[in-house]
Amino acid sequence: MQIYNDYKDHADFLTIYIREAHPTDEWRMKSNEKEKDNVCYAQPKTLEQRIAIANDFTQRFKFPLPFGIDEMSNAANDAYAAWPERLYVVDENGRISYKGGNGPFKYDPKEVRAWLAKRYGEVKHAEKAPEKKS
C-alpha cells in the first residue's frame, strides 16, 4: 500500500481479486486460523460468495486501492496466469512492461517500486525514531 500512496499521482493501480489460494476446503493453512485473525473461507462457488469475501477483505483492512473481482470464469486469472498472486505493470501503450513472478516466493513488490522509481523518481520516507525502552 505504501507504493500506492507514493506513486498514485503518477500511475494507476488495480487490485484484481482471484480464486482463493488457501480456502478451507482445499489447501488449508493453519496460519490463517491463528495468525491472520480467522481468515477462513471455502473456495467460492458463486460470484456472490467471491464478492462477499472481497468486501470482507477491503472492509477489514480499509483497503484503499481500486478493486475488481474476477468473474467465476476466472478470465483475468487465466489471461495473466496470476494465481496465487502476481504483479504486472502495463505501460501507457497497453503493453506489458513488467511481469512479476508467481507468489508467494517470487512475488516482489520491490520490483514494482523499482520500475516506478526508475520512471518517476524514488520516494524516500523519514526513518521512524526507535522506540525508547523504559
Partner 1 sequence: MAGGPKDAIEMVRFALPHMHLGTLKVGDSAPDARLVALDGATRFQIRERAQGRPLVLVFGSFT
Residue type, 57: F
Tell me if 22 contacts partner 1 by CB under 8 A.
yes
Tell me if 55 contacts partner 1 by CB under 8 A.
yes
Q: Which of 2, 5, 10, 108 binds partner 1 (CB under 8 A)?
A: 10
Q: Report the sign of the C-alpha dihedral through residues 2, 7, 90, 12, in that order.
A: positive
Tell me if 111 contacts partner 1 by CB under 8 A.
no
Q: Among 114, 84, 83, 85, which residue's Cα sits nearest to residue 98?
A: 114
CA distance 77 to 82: 5
Instruction: Write down the residue that cell numbers 478451507 correspond to.
Output: 24
Q: Which of 5, 26, 64, 108 binds partner 1 (CB under 8 A)?
A: 26
Q: Which of 37, 62, 81, 133 binds partner 1 (CB under 8 A)?
A: 81
Q: Which of 2, 5, 97, 114 binds partner 1 (CB under 8 A)?
A: 97
DSSP 23: -
Q: Is the Cβ of residue 79 or residue 126 nearer to partner 1 in the bound state? A: 79
